[in-house]
Amino acid sequence: MTEHQHHHAVYVISVFAEIAGVHPQTLRNYERSGLLNPLRTSGGSRRFSDADLVALRRIQELTNAGVNLEGVKRIMALEVELATREEKMADITNEAKSSIQETHRLYRRDLVPVQNTIEVFIDARRLRR
């Protein structure tokens, strides 16, 4: 499933409620609480997506574990924040790795053969005596 398909809102509330196994009023409550944010048609009808179903499953998981709706909202917000930071960290890590690789490529061009370096070092020690 592509990212576009995942967020493509196609389900009306009655169908979505049936798929999810919840009452439509529960979905309205979750929307009022800010836990779900279905798209609206020009006529104002709700349209839910597969991404909404994933979010609903997470809401159900948390509420079944005894978390109240305000707690669910906070947890889900923190999960989004964590995912965003993890993506950013992965990007920074990849940039750092690329930078290190480029630096190593540059060093290889500037390396002096080991024999010459050892001779210079030995000669420098002899001069100090």
- Give domain status of residue 26, yes or no: yes
pLDDT of residue 103: 86
Q: What is the pLDDT of residue 105?
A: 80
**The domain spanning residue 50 has which CATH number?**
1.10.1660.10
| Residue 105 CA: distances (Å) to CA of 28, 70, 89, 94, 129 | 58, 53, 24, 17, 38
pTM for the whole structure: 0.67
For residue 104, tell me if it sits in a domain: no
Task: Going residue by residue through the chain, which has 129 residues, state the pLDDT in tens, using 9 for 90 and above.
Answer: 555 555 688 899 999 999 999 999 999 999 999 999 999 999 999 999 999 999 999 999 999 999 999 999 999 999 999 999 999 999 999 999 999 998 888 776 666 666 555 555 555 556 665
Domain hosting residue 48, numbered range: 3-96
Domain count, the chain: 1
* Residue 37 domain flag: yes
Q: Which has the closest alpha carbon to 56: 35, 70, 77, 71?
A: 35
Write the CA distances from 83 to 41, 78, 79, 118, 120, integer angstroms.
Answer: 29, 9, 6, 51, 53
124: in domain: no
**Does residue 91 belong to any structural domain of this protein?**
yes
- Asked whether residue 83 is domain-assigned, the answer is yes
CB atoms under 10 Å from CB of 69, counted, come to 16
Tokens encoding 33:
């609480």
